[in-house]
């Protein structure tokens, strides 16, 4: 037996305390609260933080510029990874730590094709669409590799993906014969910068498109239901006709696709790749985004929008810290503080205590 | 299929990174410990040159090891000493912690030659060091900047990996100048950890907050390129006749071309080509000639967009392609486009 | 405190968000008595136990304990243990990878932990005293569930407890094991231990208890001496209503089954990776049959093989006379077979998902990945069955694991009814749920048969099988040993067949 049946109680007007409590119980409470805090801090410290201006970039195109635009732009890769990571977390109860390395691979494949094996090109040697599709394909294959290890060989996700985490960047370098090619074709950089005439950074659009795709997928397929079922109870899911292994594998393949798009944006930003440095440590941020979004890292129920919000919160924090000249070497320390707060706040003991405090304060009010 | 592919990839990596040849009687046995070649274009060039020089044709039986982690490097160094290499060629990941290795080497009769990076030890512990003089590089760059005669220097300083030899040298000179001159100011001083993307974000952040700046002093070319991407995105002119002076370091050919085209103002050369010098030292030692100097600095001029020539680019630029068709294409799709030979050399 | 009482609870209340789980409940336990705590799921038994053992803080009320002149404060299970209240839960809460002796001593050895010899000796003595068939050095996971349960009790007993709480201790035990447990309980009684016994098994209550306290909807109904309380009255106290008459329905449904038609499902020499001997099986339209046998006799494995839940290793299956291949559950589902698994928690519910998602799951999977039900459609399905089966839940959005066991089980039943199965397999649908729901489920089975569906019903309680099934397949040692129907369908015959007598 678990907790007792919740017999409906008669509805009464909801007190402020109750509203507050319902809010804190909501899954999106933490990321929204964090975002509100950051916005408030910046509003008070320097409202010009939110200023957005229309400029012309060096190619003569109109572009919007400002911290907010930077946050939206720079968070793109992280948002994409967070989406895939959420699914993987939900289905397999673990995280893929190879996403950074896998981004290097996807980026390397795309660059390799676009450069056609040369070190520097002024025009693309392969159609961009073909190159990106190939990158996505290769990345999905590597995702499947992780997925097979996790779902069929039942290796712990972090251990399984440690393989690619370790080898990925070397594989990426090998794909390009250890060269560091450069693409000078402006068209290649559209995806990472601006499309002429459109003042909003292209990564923002790509991210919106991907979010939209997932919104549709969650609405018009059973991706959400199946993933959650498998993550919560694989045995029961199997007895209801699902194939838990296949579904776990599927989430890793989906993550692979997300990784490839993120990798494409990243190499498109500069038209080059640095295998060791590209998307370094991004896996930790992606996992943090999932946790910030109120998702249990042990799998099961998920809210993809929470993770997306979490990713923007992380970028917002980073941008804020840059603005106030906090040394970038200190960034991990600030993130650590966030993680500690998160972990503490989501601990059952603390939640219990918090609801008690609210309850007693509510009672005190009633007495008064 | 997936697993086979991964296996093949992994095997290839193992073979290409750690080819271990068995000792041959006449060959000079050397162990080469270097940093991760993928870290930067500079490092790629450096590693490639070492590998191209210490070959069997050239009379060497060489074992290569690449890792940025000094602890791993130390463990491998000890292994190499036990394997009785004649020479240990070392580019240390950190400047400290090498005492035991050096003592072991001395005891075993292994001669240690440092290349590219120094470490903290008595000079007697190694035969020679062929290195870049990082403080001198910084000095040259800062002097060049001072010669530009700006009324005010508002500098975005993008540092490399904190604590590294290159960062310390290149930061030191600039710090001293900013300290000394009232007209020299930091708009921001941030480490981008050699990461291009982080550098772009840092510069974008300064632009977003509306602070004025006229110099970007990036401690390597990758970070300079990231900074330039942010400038371009905001329509800020740079380079020759531009609003912002852009400075980078190392030796990448594309960076030198950027200087040649006037997109950048300055690149401080950090010469990665120590292989030949090290080779000569070893050959001399084998013939009984001690090197004339313990520490041999590479000649490392700075290149100005006003004075750089195509010849400079051809002479000092690295990262040009060598054997594009040396290895099989990485994936199926790559095969569709046969790599064309391009005479970039 | 009352004379002879070891424990008294006065005016205990506990509130959960939106629910008054306990309201002003009194409870008195006397030394040397077995006191049954009865009530439907959701009545507040578990909450009361959890307040008493410090798992939940109580919101109101006081707890008195013999030997303490003031009310005691219990903030944690550790506190409870220290003042002499020990609990053995339905789910084993020991460490499976430690030995029996280690499990008995873990967490209460002072100082030197490594006195293995003494520990094993002490554990051995207790196990022997209590007649528990386990060796001190044996790894706990190698013991049967029943023995593990007994080890948990032995651990509690050895801690000098004055109050022993047994929460559903018998739900995974077979009869001989229950008998052993009862002997153990009587021994403890004689030593003056007060035992709070929470169970759903009425027979067991009447066999062992001295007193009964009944709770309903979080409130105290009353405390009764067992002799003054006939069964029917107890049940009606628990339910707050009278029980329906099952046997009438049965007679009606008996006629519905046409045993001469082509069987709905027919299996020949079916065998699975779970290690049952190949068996034959068939079921007709409108028939209710069942598998019976002791725990572990292979009855669950048989139905799992039919459903494709375990890997099928041989045999043939025909549905409506047509040969079909059932390799995985989805194959069976497509043939119109539904399966309610034995272990609700492990194989049945998807814990954190809503009641709605749990109900629509099977039908949704059959419909396909790319064709999800609209929210409104899912809502409608869920509401229909919440109403039909009287599932007590705040809404269809409530996570299923916050429902009581009986209501969870109803959701699983609803899940399969929604697929409109031709043939429904119910493996222990009545385990661990309250009396009212048990009856409802039995009635439902007969109704389904009346509608022309075929049902295989498995239960550890022979009464229930006799009430519902017109044919029983008897299993022993993973082998079908007999089939009973008609005249032979009675308690004695079942017993003798299980025990080894010849059927027919």
**C263 three-class SS:** coil
Question: Please, which residues have CB within 8 angstroms of residue B121's CB and are 6 or more apart in sequence?
Answer: B98, B99, B102
**Which pLDDT band holds residue C255 (cuts at 50, 70, 90)?**
low
Question: Please, which residues have CB within 8 angstroms of residue B271's CB and are 6 or more apart in sequence?
Answer: B132, B251, B298, B299, B300, B316
Which of C48, C344, C365 is the best residue to mutate to test the A interface, defined by the most A CB atoms within 10 Å of its own CB?
C365
pLDDT confidence of residue C431? 80
For residue B241, tell me if it sits in a domain: yes
A134 to chain B, closest Cα gap in Å: 7
Judged by a CB distance cut-off of 8 A, whether residue B345 touches chain A is: no
**Which pLDDT band holds residue C157 (cuts at 50, 70, 90)?**
confident
A231 to chain C, closest Cα gap in Å: 9
Tell me: the pLDDT tens digits for A34-82? 899 999 999 999 888 898 989 888 888 899 989 999 999 999 999 999 9
Radius of gyration of chain A (CA): 22
A325 to chain B, closest Cα gap in Å: 7
Check if the beta carbon of residue B259 is closer than 8 Å to that of residue B230.
Answer: no
CATH topology of domain C244-336+423-429+453-504: Rossmann fold (3.40.50)
Which of C352, C360, C405 is the best residue to mutate to test the A interface, defined by the most A CB atoms within 10 Å of its own CB?
C352
Give, in order, the Cα–Cα distances in Å from B308 to each of A182, A191, B62, B166. Answer: 21, 33, 37, 23
Cβ-defined contact of A278 to B197 (cutoff 8 Å): yes
Greater confidence, A186 or C239?
Answer: A186
d(CA B203, CA B317): 26
Q: What spatial distance separates the first Cα and last Cα of chain C, rounded to whole Å?
A: 60
DSSP codes of every residue in C66-101: TT-SS-----SHHHHHHTTEEEE-SS--S-TTSBHH
Cβ-defined contact of C403 to A7 (cutoff 8 Å): no
Q: What is the mean pLDDT of residues B274-287?
A: 90
Tell me which range, B37-41, B150-154, C127-131, C434-438, is most confidently predicted by mean pLDDT.
Answer: B150-154
Cβ-defined contact of A179 to B44 (cutoff 8 Å): yes
pLDDT confidence of residue C170? 77
Cβ-defined contact of B38 to A117 (cutoff 8 Å): no
d(CA B293, CA B313): 29
Q: Domain tally for chain B?
A: 2
With contact defined as 3+ CB pairs under 8 Å, the chains touching B are A
**B88 three-class SS:** strand
pLDDT confidence of residue A5? 44
User: Pairing between strand B302-304 and B266-269?
Assistant: antiparallel
For chain A, what is the mean pLDDT?
A: 87
Phi, psi of B269 (to 5 degrees): -75, 135
Same CATH topology for C5-239 and C244-336+423-429+453-504: the answer is yes
**Which pLDDT band holds residue B328 (cuts at 50, 70, 90)?**
very low
ipTM over 0.90: no
Q: What is the mean pLDDT of residues A98-111?
A: 96
Q: What is the mean pLDDT of residues C412-423?
A: 94
Residue B211 has pLDDT above 60, yes or no: yes
Angle at alpha carbon of residue C53, lines to C51 and C59, rounded to 5° = 20
For chain C, what is the mean pLDDT?
A: 84
Find chain A residues with C-beta within 8 A of B208's C-beta.
Answer: 65-67, 69-70, 319, 323
For chain B, what is the mean pLDDT?
A: 84
d(CA C136, CA C119): 9
pLDDT confidence of residue B20? 42
Cβ-defined contact of A240 to C349 (cutoff 8 Å): no
* Cβ atoms < 10 Å from Cβ of A303: 20
A108 to chain B, closest Cα gap in Å: 10
Give, in order, the Cα–Cα distances in Å from A87 to each of A249, C283, C349. Answer: 11, 42, 21
Cβ-defined contact of C19 to A5 (cutoff 8 Å): yes
Greater confidence, C129 or C13?
Answer: C13
The pair of three-digit structure tokens given for residue A115, joined into one six-digit string = 């450069």
pLDDT confidence of residue A345? 74
One-letter-per-residue 3-state SS of B16-51:
HHCCCCCCCCCCEEEEEEECCCCCCHHHHHHHHHHH
Give, in order, the Cα–Cα distances in Å from B63 to each of B16, B30, B80, B260. Answer: 11, 6, 8, 38
Residue that has been written with the tokens 């549905």 in this structure: C319
Residue that has been written with the tokens 């772009």 in this structure: B200
Cβ-defined contact of C404 to A238 (cutoff 8 Å): no
d(CA B334, CA A114): 9
Q: Which residues of C255-284 are buried (b: 16+ CB within 10 A; e: fewer)?
A: ebbeeeeebbbbbeebbbebebebbebbbb
A69 to chain C, closest Cα gap in Å: 36
Tell me: the pLDDT tens digits for C57-116? 888 899 998 888 888 888 888 888 888 888 887 666 778 888 888 888 876 655 555 567
For residue B292, tell me if it sits in a domain: yes
* Cβ atoms < 10 Å from Cβ of C293: 27
Residue B14 has pLDDT above 70, yes or no: no
Q: Are residues B278 and B244 in the same domain?
A: no
Q: Are residues B17 and B101 in the same domain?
A: yes
Residues 79..138 of B with a Cβ closer than 8 Å to A: which? none
A131 to chain C, closest Cα gap in Å: 29
Q: In what order do the strands lie in the sheet with C34-38?
A: C85-88, C163-167, C194-198, C34-38, C211-216, C219-225
Task: Give me the residue from C47, C353, C415 closest to A232, CB to CB.
Answer: C353
Please report, for the domain that includes residue B181, its CATH number. 3.40.50.2300
pLDDT confidence of residue B228? 95
Residue A7 has pLDDT above 60, yes or no: no
Check if the beta carbon of residue C338 is closer than 8 Å to that of residue C423.
Answer: yes
A9 to chain B, closest Cα gap in Å: 53
d(CA A301, CA A295): 7
pLDDT confidence of residue C27? 93
Where helices occur in chain A by DSSP H, the ranges are: 16-25, 29-45, 67-74, 76-92, 99-115, 128-147, 157-175, 186-189, 202-220, 223-232, 234-239, 244-270, 282-292, 304-323, 331-346, 348-367
pLDDT confidence of residue B190? 92
Judged by a CB distance cut-off of 8 A, whether residue A129 touches chain B is: no
Find chain B residues with C-beta within 8 A of A256's C-beta.
Answer: none
Which of B329, B334, B335 is the best residue to mutate to test the A interface, defined by the most A CB atoms within 10 Å of its own CB?
B334
Question: Please, which residues have CB within 8 angstroms of residue A61's CB and are 6 or more apart in sequence?
Answer: A194, A196, A197, A198, A199
d(CA A279, CA A286): 11
Q: What is the mean pLDDT of residues C363-368?
A: 94
d(CA C62, CA A41): 48
d(CA A212, CA C345): 36
Residue-range domain boundaries for chain C: 5-239, 244-336+423-429+453-504, 342-420
d(CA B111, CA B81): 10
For residue B93, tell me if it sits in a domain: yes
Boundary residue ending a domain (B246, B269, B292):
B269
Judged by a CB distance cut-off of 8 A, whether residue A126 touches chain B is: yes
For residue B96, tell me if it sits in a domain: yes
- Out of A173-182, A250-259, B335-344, which region has the weakest mean confidence (pLDDT)? B335-344
CATH topology of domain C5-239: Rossmann fold (3.40.50)
Which of B297, B318, B251, B279 shows the shortest CA–CA distance to B118? B297
Residues of A with CB under 8 A from a CB of C: 1-9, 21, 219-223, 225-226, 228-229, 232-233, 235-243, 300-301
d(CA C84, CA C185): 17
Q: Which domain covers residue B75, as residue numbers?
A: 2-132+272-300
d(CA B137, CA B140): 5
DSSP secondary-structure letter at C344?
I
Question: Please, which residues have CB within 8 angstroms of residue B59's CB and are 6 or more apart in sequence?
Answer: B26, B27, B28
Residue B24 has pLDDT above 60, yes or no: no
Q: What is the mean pLDDT of residues A292-300?
A: 87
pLDDT confidence of residue C437? 82
pLDDT confidence of residue A71? 94
What is the percent of chain B with per-residue pLDDT over 70, rounded to a whole number? 85
* Cβ atoms < 10 Å from Cβ of C366: 16
Find chain C residues with C-beta within 8 A of A301's C-beta.
Answer: 352-353
d(CA A154, CA A152): 5
User: Pairing between strand A182-183 and A120-121?
Assistant: parallel
Do chains A and B have 3 or more beta-carbon pairs under 8 angstroms? yes
Tell me: the pLDDT tens digits for C10-66? 999 988 776 778 899 999 999 899 999 988 767 888 889 888 888 888 888 999 988
Distance of CA C244 to the CA centre of its chain: 22
The pair of three-digit structure tokens given for residue A202, joined into one six-digit string = 């292209």
pLDDT confidence of residue B19? 43
**C444 three-class SS:** helix
- Out of A192-206, C117-131, C329-343, which region has the weakest mean confidence (pLDDT)? C117-131
Q: Provide the number of CB pairs (under 8 Å) joining chain A to chain B.
A: 203
Residues 175..234 of B with a Cβ closer than 8 Å to A: which? 188, 190-198, 200-202, 204-205, 207-210, 222, 225-226, 229, 231-234
Sign of CA dihedral B114, B118, B120, B123: positive
pLDDT confidence of residue A2? 41
For residue B49, tell me if it sits in a domain: yes
d(CA C170, CA C151): 14
pLDDT confidence of residue C490? 79
Check if the beta carbon of residue A89 is closer than 8 Å to that of residue A297.
Answer: yes
Judged by a CB distance cut-off of 8 A, whether residue A137 touches chain B is: yes
Question: Please, which residues have CB within 8 angstroms of residue C19's CB and are 6 or more apart in sequence?
Answer: A4, A5, A6, A7, A9, C218
Q: What spatial distance separates the first Cα and last Cα of chain B, rounded to whole Å?
A: 38
C288 to chain A, closest Cα gap in Å: 22
pLDDT confidence of residue B330? 40
Sign of CA dihedral C84, C85, C89, C94: negative
């Amino acid at each position: 037996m678990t907790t007792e049946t919740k017999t409906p109680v008669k509805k009464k007007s909801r007190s402020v305390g109750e509203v507050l409590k319902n809010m804190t119980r909501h899954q999106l409470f933490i990321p929204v609260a964090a975002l509100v805090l950051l916005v408030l801090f910046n509003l008070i410290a320097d409202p010009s933080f939110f200023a957005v201006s229309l400029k012309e970039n060096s190619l003569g195109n109109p572009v919007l510029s400002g911290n907010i635009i930077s946050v939206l732009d720079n968070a793109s890769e992280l948002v994409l990874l967070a989406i895939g990571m959420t699914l993987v977390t939900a289905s397999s109860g673990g995280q893929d730590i190879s996403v950074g390395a896998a981004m290097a691979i996807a980026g390397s494949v795309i660059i390799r094709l676009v450069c056609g094996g040369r070190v520097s090109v002024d025009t693309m040697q392969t159609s961009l669409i073909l190159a990106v599709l190939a990158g996505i394909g290769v990345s999905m294959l590597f995702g499947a590799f992780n997925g097979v290890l996790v779902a069929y060989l039942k290796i712990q996700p972090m251990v399984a993906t440690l393989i690619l985490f370790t080898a990925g960047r070397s594989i990426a370098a090998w794909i390009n014969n250890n060269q560091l090619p450069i693409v000078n074709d402006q068209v290649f950089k559209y995806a990472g910068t601006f499309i002429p005439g459109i003042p909003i950074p292209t990564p923002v659009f790509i991210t919106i498109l991907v979010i939209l795709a997932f919104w549709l997928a969650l609405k018009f397929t059973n991706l959400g239901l199946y993933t959650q079922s498998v993550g919560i109870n694989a045995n029961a899911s199997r007895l209801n006709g699902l194939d838990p292994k296949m579904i776990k594998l599927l989430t890793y393949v989906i993550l692979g696709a997300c990784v490839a798009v993120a990798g494409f944006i990243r190499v498109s930003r500069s038209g080059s790749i640095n295998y060791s440095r590209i998307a370094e440590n991004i896996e930790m941020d992606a996992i943090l985004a999932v946790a910030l979004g109120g998702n249990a890292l042990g799998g099961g129920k998920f809210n993809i929008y929470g993770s997306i919000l979490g990713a923007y919160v992380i970028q917002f924090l980073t941008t804020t810290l840059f603005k106030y000249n906090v040394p970038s070497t200190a960034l991990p320390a600030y993130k650590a503080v966030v993680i500690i707060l998160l972990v503490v706040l989501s601990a059952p003991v603390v939640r219990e205590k918090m609801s008690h405090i609210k309850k007693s304060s509510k009672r005190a009010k009633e007495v008064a | 299929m997936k697993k086979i592919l991964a296996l093949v990839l992994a095997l290839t990596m193992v073979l290409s990174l750690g080819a271990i040849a068995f000792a041959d009687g006449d060959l000079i046995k050397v162990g080469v410990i270097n940093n991760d070649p993928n870290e930067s274009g500079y490092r790629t060039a450096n590693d490639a040159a070492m590998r191209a020089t210490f070959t069997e044709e050239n009379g060497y039986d060489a074992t290569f090891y690449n890792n940025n982690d000094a602890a791993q490097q130390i463990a491998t160094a000890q292994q190499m000493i036990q394997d009785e290499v004649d020479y240990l060629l070392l580019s240390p990941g950190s400047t400290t912690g090498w005492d035991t290795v050096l003592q072991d080497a001395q005891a075993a009769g292994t001669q240690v030659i440092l290349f590219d990076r120094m470490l903290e030890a008595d000079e007697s512990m190694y035969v020679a060091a062929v290195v870049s003089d990082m403080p001198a590089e910084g000095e040259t760059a800062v002097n060049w900047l001072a010669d530009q005669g700006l009324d005010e220097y508002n500098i975005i300083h993008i540092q490399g990996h904190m604590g590294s030899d290159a960062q310390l040298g290149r930061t030191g000179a600039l710090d001293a100048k900013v300290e000394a001159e009232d007209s020299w100011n930091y708009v921001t001083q941030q480490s981008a950890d050699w990461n291009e993307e982080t550098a772009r974000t840092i510069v974008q952040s300064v632009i977003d907050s509306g602070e004025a700046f006229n110099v970007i002093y990036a401690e390597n070319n990758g970070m300079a390129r990231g900074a330039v991407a942010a400038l371009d995105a905001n329509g800020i002119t740079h380079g020759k006749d531009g609003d912002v002076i852009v400075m980078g370091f190392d030796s990448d050919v594309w960076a030198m071309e950027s200087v040649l085209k006037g997109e950048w103002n300055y690149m401080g050369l950090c010469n990665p080509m120590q292989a030949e010098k090290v080779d000569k030292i070893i050959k001399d030692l084998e013939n009984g000639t001690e090197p004339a100097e313990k520490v041999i600095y590479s000649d490392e001029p700075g290149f100005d967009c006003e004075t750089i020539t195509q010849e400079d680019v051809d002479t000092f630029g690295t990262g040009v392609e060598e054997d594009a068709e040396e290895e099989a294409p990485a994936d199926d799709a790559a095969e569709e486009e046969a790599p064309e030979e391009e005479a970039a050399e | 405190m009352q004379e002879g009482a070891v424990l008294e609870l006065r005016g205990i209340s506990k509130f959960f968000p939106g629910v008054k789980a306990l309201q002003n409940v009194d409870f008195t336990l006397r030394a040397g008595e077995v006191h049954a705590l009865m009530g439907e799921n959701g009545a507040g038994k578990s909450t009361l136990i959890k307040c008493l053992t410090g798992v939940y803080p109580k919101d109101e009320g006081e707890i008195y304990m013999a030997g303490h002149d003031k009310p005691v404060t219990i903030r944690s299970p550790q506190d409870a243990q220290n003042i002499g209240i020990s609990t053995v839960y339905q789910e084993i809460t020991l460490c499976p990878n430690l030995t029996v002796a280690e499990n008995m001593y873990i967490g209460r050895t002072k100082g030197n932990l490594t006195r293995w010899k003494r520990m094993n000796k002490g554990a051995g003595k207790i196990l022997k005293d209590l007649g528990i068939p386990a060796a001190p050095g044996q790894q706990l996971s190698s013991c049967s569930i029943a023995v593990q349960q007994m080890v948990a009790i032995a651990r509690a007993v050895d801690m000098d407890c004055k109050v022993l709480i047994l929460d559903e201790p018998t739900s995974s035990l077979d009869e001989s094991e229950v008998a052993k447990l009862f002997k153990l309980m009587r021994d403890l009684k004689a030593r003056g231990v007060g035992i709070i016994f929470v169970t759903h098994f009425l027979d067991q209550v009447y066999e062992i208890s001295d007193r009964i306290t009944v709770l309903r909807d979080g409130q105290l109904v009353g405390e009764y001496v067992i002799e003054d309380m006939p069964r029917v009255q107890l049940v009606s106290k628990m339910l707050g209503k009278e029980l329906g008459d099952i046997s009438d329905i049965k007679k009606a449904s008996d006629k519905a089954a046409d045993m001469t038609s082509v069987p709905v499902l027919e299996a020949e020499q079916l065998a699975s990776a779970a290690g049952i001997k190949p068996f034959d099986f068939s079921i007709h339209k409108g028939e209710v049959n069942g598998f019976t046998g002791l725990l572990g006799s292979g009855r669950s494995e048989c139905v799992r093989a039919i459903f494709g839940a375990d890997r099928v290793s041989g045999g043939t299956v025909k549905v409506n006379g047509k040969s079909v291949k059932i390799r995985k559950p989805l194959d069976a589902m497509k043939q119109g077979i539904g399966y309610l698994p034995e272990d609700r928690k492990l194989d049945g519910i998807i814990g954190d998902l809503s009641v709605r998602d749990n109900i629509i799951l099977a039908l949704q999977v059959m419909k396909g990945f790319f064709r999800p039900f609209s929210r409104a459609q899912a809502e409608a399905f869920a509401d229909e069955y919440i109403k039909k089966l009287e599932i007590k839940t705040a809404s269809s959005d409530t996570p299923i694991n916050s429902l009581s066991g009986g209501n969870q089980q109803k959701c699983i039943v609803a899940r399969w009814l929604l697929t409109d199965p031709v043939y429904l397999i119910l493996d222990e649908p009545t385990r661990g749920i309250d009396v009212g729901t048990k009856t409802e489920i039995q009635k439902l089975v007969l109704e389904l048969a009346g509608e022309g569906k075929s049902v295989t019903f498995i239960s550890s309680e022979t009464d229930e099988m006799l009430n519902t099934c017109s044919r029983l397949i008897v299993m022993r040692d993973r082998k079908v040993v007999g089939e009973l129907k008609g005249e032979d369908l009675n308690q004695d015959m079942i017993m003798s067949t299980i025990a080894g007598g010849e059927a027919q």
